[in-house]
Amino acid sequence: MALSATIRNRLRRVRLLLMDVDGVLTDGGMYYTESGDELKKFNTRDGHGVTLLHAAGIITALVTRERTAIVTRRAAKLGISEVHQGVMDKLAVVKAVLEKHGVDPGEACYVGDDLGDLEAMTFVGLPVAVADAAARVKRVARYVTRRRGGEGAVREVCDMILSARRAG
């Protein structure tokens, strides 16, 4: 699919990628064992996309309402130092992360899937919704991924950012 010049320009400017976790980096399912342990499935290709962004000097951040050791472990494995869990006001956290790193809202991309992401998405220059996001989230997105959350949507965004930068 050909991207508009506006979207390519926004992708080229991205210095910070912010992501929700459940429904974006995972399929949104909550899996529990008989003993009460919680499980989440992450996509390896999404993780490699994050690693490629880091190599290109792009900052990544997780902003999620949930609070789990699983997210902490996944972030550590991927080298994501900006991990914000238990967040009810995602916009306030996004603003603080941008300020901390000296990033303009127009240089930020936020990938979300549900209503809790709306305010943060409308604040950044490139709001992205995963393919299976809520309808209201898709309406505010400048781009909707072809892939579903947890099934390569984040990798799709990472590849687009890197490709736009190479095209200069």
Of 149, 22, 27, 47, the residue nearest 141 (C-alpha): 149
Question: Would you say 66 and 73 are in contact if contact means Cβ atoms under 8 Å apart?
Answer: no
Quote the radius of gyration of the chain (alpha carbons, Å): 15
The alpha carbon of 165 is separated from its chain's Cα centroid by a whole number of angstroms, namely 18
**CATH for 5-167, among 3.40.50.1000, 3.40.50.10860, 1.10.3300.10, 3.40.50.720?**
3.40.50.1000
Tens place of pLDDT per residue across the chain (168 aa): 578 899 999 999 999 999 999 999 999 998 999 999 999 999 999 999 999 999 999 999 999 999 999 999 999 999 999 999 999 999 999 999 999 999 999 999 999 999 999 999 999 999 999 999 999 999 999 999 999 999 999 999 999 999 999 987
pLDDT for 1: 56
| Domain residue spans of the chain | 5-167
Check the CA dihedral 135-132-119-116 and report its sign. positive
Q: What is the pTM of this model?
A: 0.96
Looking at residue 50, its pLDDT comes to 98
Tokens of 50: 């994050």
